[in-house]
């Protein structure tokens, strides 16, 4: 869905490097999420934000930080990347309206930490 974009799509980096993954959306949704996907583990929630001033830790926030620069932008940072952060990262949005629970996903960023 082109309404939620992620950059970069692929990234290879070295242990200890700082990495930022960016997510932008044109859907006008208030809620944004960052997930990571590992084989056999499904998607795990890293951080989520319900509006620009709201940031919440998810299931696996250690080693990550986020910034909600605007309603449309939600960035995920790895301050000092480590190999076990190698994964597929997804951003998702949700309008946050009653009865509207569908999440809209970006195409993903494949991150490899050597």
Partner 1 sequence: SQQGEEDPQALSIQEGENATMNCSYKTSINNLQWYRQNSGRGLVHLILIRSNEREKHSGRLRVTLDTSKKSSSLLITASRAADTASYFCATEGYQKVTFGTGTKLQVIP
Please report, as ranges, the residues that interact with partner 1 according to CB under 8 A.
Answer: 1, 4, 33, 35, 40-45, 48, 50, 56, 58-59, 88, 90, 92, 94, 101-108, 110
CA–CA separation, 44 vs 13, rounded Å? 22
Residue with tokens 């995920």: 76
Provide, rounded to whole angstroms, the least separation between the CB of residue 56 and partner 1. Answer: 8
Q: How far is the CB of 82 from partner 1 (least distance, A)?
A: 22
Distances, alpha carbon 70 to alpha carbons 25, 104, 106, in Å:
10, 18, 17
Provide, rounded to whole angstroms, the least separation between the CB of residue 45 and partner 1.
Answer: 6
C-beta of 17 vs 112, nearer to partner 1: 112
Judged by beta carbon, residue 17 or residue 105, the one nearer partner 1 is: 105
Closest of 15, 40, 39, 35 to residue 23, by C-alpha: 35
């Amino acid at each position: 869905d082109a309404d939620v974009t992620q950059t970069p799509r692929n990234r290879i980096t070295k242990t200890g490097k700082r990495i930022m993954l960016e997510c932008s959306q044109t859907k006008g949704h208030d809620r944004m999420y960052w997930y990571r996907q590992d084989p056999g583990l499904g998607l795990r929630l890293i951080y989520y934000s319900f509006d620009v001033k709201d940031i919440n830790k998810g299931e696996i926030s250690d080693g990550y930080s986020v910034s909600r620069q605007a309603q449309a932008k939600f960035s995920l940072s790895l301050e000092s990347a480590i190999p076990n952060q190698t994964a597929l990262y997804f951003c998702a949005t949700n309008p946050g309206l009653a009865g509207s629970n569908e999440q809209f996903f970006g195409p993903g960023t494949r991150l490899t930490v050597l």
